[in-house]
Amino acid sequence: MTATPGFTLVRDFDATPEEIWSAWTDPDEAAQWWHPRGVSTPRESVTIDARVGGRYAYTMVDDASGQSYPTGGVYLEVQPFERLSFTWGEPDADPAEAPVVTIALAPNGDRTRMTFRLDGVDGRPGDGFFYDGWDSALDVLVEHVPGRSSR
């Protein structure tokens, strides 16, 4: 049996699960961080319907080249303040064939631990693509969420 390709990233936040949840599900907030460094997400490109079967979409724009990267998917699991799972990739891709992102939020003392899992693609530090892109985006999220956070 072959293991599904994927990777996990973890961040701890001095913030509530509700604050982190809002960063993932509020379009105004998502536009501020849902991209790696050197890339922007125009607010007008972000739509989020955070319910099972709902869709989301956003477009990342490379700050240097202006190249656009439309991204989107379908929500598979929505447990407010605890767990969010969605397909990730081309906005109109077949959800059955798309990679899946799962976000789990859990108390960690007086902090909140967010465990990010991407299944369906290989990723490792230094790949310059999946792993590095999400690692950078989550660093931007750490800067966005109130309080002091760490990797």
pLDDT by position in tens, the chain (length 151): 456 799 999 999 999 999 999 999 999 999 999 999 999 999 999 999 999 999 999 999 999 999 999 999 999 999 999 999 999 999 888 889 999 999 999 998 889 999 999 999 999 999 999 999 999 999 999 999 976 445 5
Report the pLDDT value the prediction gives residue 48, as an integer from 0 to 100.
98
Q: What is the pLDDT of residue 2?
A: 54
Q: Using a cut of 0.75, tell me whether the model's pTM lies above it.
A: yes
Residue ranges of domains in the chain = 6-145
Q: How far from 20 is each of 23, 95, 112, 130, 139, CA to CA, in Å?
A: 5, 25, 9, 22, 13
Superfamily of domain 6-145: START domain (3.30.530.20)
Q: How far from 145 is each of 19, 29, 112, 133, 141, CA to CA, in Å?
A: 7, 9, 12, 18, 6
Separation in Å, CA 17 to CA 14, 114, 119: 10, 9, 23
The reported pLDDT for the residue numbered 3 is 64
d(CA 12, CA 46): 26
Structure tokens at 70: 């439309």
Q: Please give the pLDDT value at position 1.
A: 46
pLDDT value, residue 148? 46
